[in-house]
Amino acid sequence: MSWTQTIFEVIDMRSFSNLWFWIALAVVWSTASHWILGVPFDMLTRAKRHGGQAQADLESVVYIMASRILYITEVSGMLLLGFLSFALTALAVLGFVYDVEFAQALFLIGLPMSGVGALSMHTARGIVTEQLRGEALHRRLIRHRQIVQAIGVLAIFVTAMWGMWQNLDRSYLFNSF
């Protein structure tokens, strides 16, 4: 038995019937909704509740992370966009043209997460250009989180529907009729 056969026996590459895929999907979206621009959501809630030093800390971290996102965008944004476009196109072709289920699964995670990345760049630019502080910063971060959560719910729904279709399509009972 070759090493590739061993790997494919140990790791089920039929992603949509694999519990680890669904756990990974939940972790990805949970993490994306908890870390707003790289800032944990509990830091925002603490700043809203207590103000003072917690608010100053929040503003400092948000501006550091927003500046970091904008710097990365300006320095290597086009290169990252090209690589991301290539990777998503390759996954889409492998997954939906050549029917590789693992590529479909990665595409269904990667495409909406690229939208979250674009939203994060937009939010970071808005925070820095408008010099948001206090309640206005809170509103922008909460709105960003709500949009990320909406994208996540839609992505999980689409992934679940596609995954159920794939599992039914490949099942013995579905194909025996």
Helix pair 134-170, 41-50: axis angle to 10 deg: 150
Residue entry with tokens 């039929």:
14
The residues spanned by each domain of the chain are 51-166
Give pLDDT tens digits for 57-88. Answer: 999 999 999 999 999 999 999 999 999 999 99
- The overall pTM is greater than 0.75: yes
- In this predicted model, what pLDDT tens digit does every residue of 100-151 receive, in sequence order? 999 999 999 999 999 999 999 999 999 999 999 999 999 999 999 999 999 9
Q: b/e map of 67-87 (b: 16 or more CB within 10 Å)?
A: eebbeebeeeeeeeeeebeee
The closest of 106, 76, 80 to 92, measured between CA atoms, is: 106
CA distance 80 to 86: 10
